[in-house]
Amino acid sequence: MTDSSTSPAPFFIAKILFSSKTITNKKDDANIYTVELVRKGQDLAQLIEKEKSSSKSKSSRLICGKHTLFADDEKTVLANIDGYPLVSIKKGKEFENVTLSIVPLISIANDAMEVSVTLYPPVPGCEPLNSEELLTRLQEQHVQFGLNPNQLQELVQRCNDEQTIISSETVSRGLLPLHGKDSFLRFDVEVGPLPGKILGNGKIDFRERKMFVGVQQGETIATRIPPTSGTPGINVLGEEITQLAGRELKVTVSNDAEFDEGNGIIRALQSGILSMVNENSIKVCAKQVIPGDVDFSTGNIESKDAVDITGSIQPGFKVETHGDLLIGGSIRSAFVHCMGNLVIQNGITGGDGNVEVEGDADFKFIEQGKIQSGGRVIIRKQAYHSTIMADSDICAHEKSTIIGGMLLSGGSISLGTVGSPNAPPTLLAAGVSPEQYLEYEKIRSHLHNQEEALLLCLQRHGQKVKNSLRQSLEESVATLRQALKEIYLSPGSSTASADEINQYLSTIRITLYGNLFSGTVVQIGRATKTIKTDLRTTSFRLDRNGSIIMESNPQG
């Protein structure tokens, strides 16, 4: 009787079931390796049991590489796609490992917007591939759009005649959808440049804003041009790709302006001064001139008009305007609320005041000040240890200097030099709602304090003791952590989908045209990055994984 436990293990060799040959390229006389074109489901290799020829012989083991799979018998490897099989043999300690993989004949991009083919010269004795067969195999893969039979014929002929490998040659591309254009205002009056806008060459327009544009009673100010619907695209599979329709521009008017929803026309009801806030809010009002400073001689200013202050606003005084505000001097620890656009010929100083602007804010400098804008912020010279918040972009001149403080922007940030070796680090946060960011930081600070208190409680009373203080702190920490997860940082993200938020954040940039000193913290959405070394002419954006990446030499 034979003891099965002592019988030798079966010995296998791998039998390759497709043809291959080394041939000579007719173009440069180089030797190339070519293989037979196989179909999906075709046998590629099989383990055959044989007697071991010598003690040094190693049994073969089949391994499935890309685009291959085992048959039901687990001893045969099959092709999982049409293509050209390759063999890799590596000798291990116990086995000879034979790996089978396939180079695809046809490759369709993940988004189905492009198809490419790879062709190997035919092996002598095997039926060569012709263009009609290639077209048939493409159609079997449901490729319906963009194929050119003449191109396929040229590729097959070149491969066969020159005995050369055609690698990943594109044979079809889909058509991207043409998205609709958003509605916009076409102005009938000369409103002048809008500082802070990006020009066609990538530079930023820093021309002076045209203030106090006059309009006459009954004059057409602007016309809202309707959005367009766009045109759908099509992928190589013949599937329609839905386009994004243009968005309707919501127009608001106030004071002596009216808007006709039917024809989209905005008119002046009375003669006055035009104020345009964030490019879609129109108002017409009178103009009030304050000669000199706002001080004890004038008192606080509260006006329903556009206001021109030729001097400065002195510490402690308040100015509120419904229209645009032009200040010939500075704002010095004063309180300003402008419901239009703000232009300051000099700057903002002092941390005891506060400046709120519903439109754009444009100034030379800010030192230890605070400003919040519903539109853009334009810094023409410098910002020192200040808090600058904008619902739209923050733009500074390429030769500007920003030291300390924090800049919070709902859009992108473009600056000159940021930081200093001897100054506290600057925070640059783009693609965030300033109000939501401040709320987020408030909750995070409270959470940190509660976590510290909980840790102290556990250290004093031990892990096993559960008292009312510990329970209260644990509940508070859990509530605050959940609140941090739920708070939205990106503008409008409370009503937007995750895809819409990611699409928006992909357009956000932080661009530095001068020096960027180490210690500066850059943030886009929720992603943050602390700069470890001094840099120059640098920009930051998010990659596909939502991490901040750095690029050199921004367009200047």
Residue 5 lies in a domain: no
Closest-CA residue to 479 (of 441, 512, 520, 447) = 447
Q: Looking at 174, 201, 235, which one is the last position of a domain? A: 174
From first to last of its 556 residues, the chain has per-residue pLDDT tens of 445 455 677 889 999 999 999 988 877 778 889 999 999 999 999 999 888 777 778 899 999 999 999 999 989 999 999 999 999 999 887 889 999 999 999 999 999 999 999 999 999 989 899 999 999 999 999 999 999 999 999 999 999 999 999 999 999 999 999 999 999 999 999 887 777 776 656 677 788 888 899 999 999 999 999 999 999 999 999 999 999 999 999 999 988 999 999 999 999 999 999 988 887 899 999 999 999 999 999 999 999 999 999 999 999 999 999 999 999 999 999 999 999 999 999 999 988 889 999 999 999 999 999 999 999 999 999 999 999 999 999 999 999 999 999 999 999 999 999 999 989 999 999 999 999 999 999 999 999 999 999 999 988 888 888 888 889 999 999 999 999 888 878 887 667 778 888 888 999 999 999 999 999 999 999 999 999 999 999 999 999 888 999 987 555 4
Q: Residues 299, 237: one domain? A: no
* Cα of 183 vs its chain's centroid, Å: 23
Asked, for residue 209, whether it belongs to a domain, the answer is: yes
Residue 528 counted as domain residue: yes
With contact defined as beta carbons under 8 Å apart, do 397 and 215 qualify?
A: no
Question: Considering 174, 191, 207, which residue would you say is the last residue of a domain?
Answer: 174
Give the three-class secondary structure for 485: helix
In a domain, 461, yes or no: yes
Say how many domains are in the chain. 4
Residue with token string 């010598």: 54
End-to-end CA distance of the chain: 89
Residues 252 and 396 in one domain: no
Torsion of CA 370, 490, 523, 280, to 10 degrees: -50
Last residue within a domain, chosen from 149, 174, 199 = 174
In a domain, 492, yes or no: no
272 & 299 share domain:
no
Measured in whole angstroms, the distance separating CA 146 from the mean position of its chain's CA atoms is 30
* Residue in the block written with tokens 């194929």: 147
| Radius of gyration (C-alpha) of the chain in whole angstroms | 35
219: nearest Cα among 184, 242, 190 = 190
Show the domain range for 196. 179-282
Distance CA 285, CA 123 (A): 84
412 shares its domain with 512: yes
Q: φ, ψ for residue 507 (rounded to 5)?
A: -90, -10
**Number of helices and strands in the chain (H, E):** 5, 49
Residues 6 or more apart in contact with residue 277 via CB below 8 angstroms = 283, 339, 340, 341, 358, 359, 374, 375
Residue 1 counted as domain residue: no
> Do 159 and 52 reside in the same domain of the chain?
yes
Q: Is residue 4 situated within a structural domain?
A: no
Write down how long the chain is: 556
DSSP state of 333: S
Looking at the structure, do residues 123 and 207 belong to the same domain, yes or no?
Answer: no
What 3-state class would DSSP assign to 156? Answer: helix
Residues 118 and 191 both lie in one domain: no
pLDDT of residue 199: 66
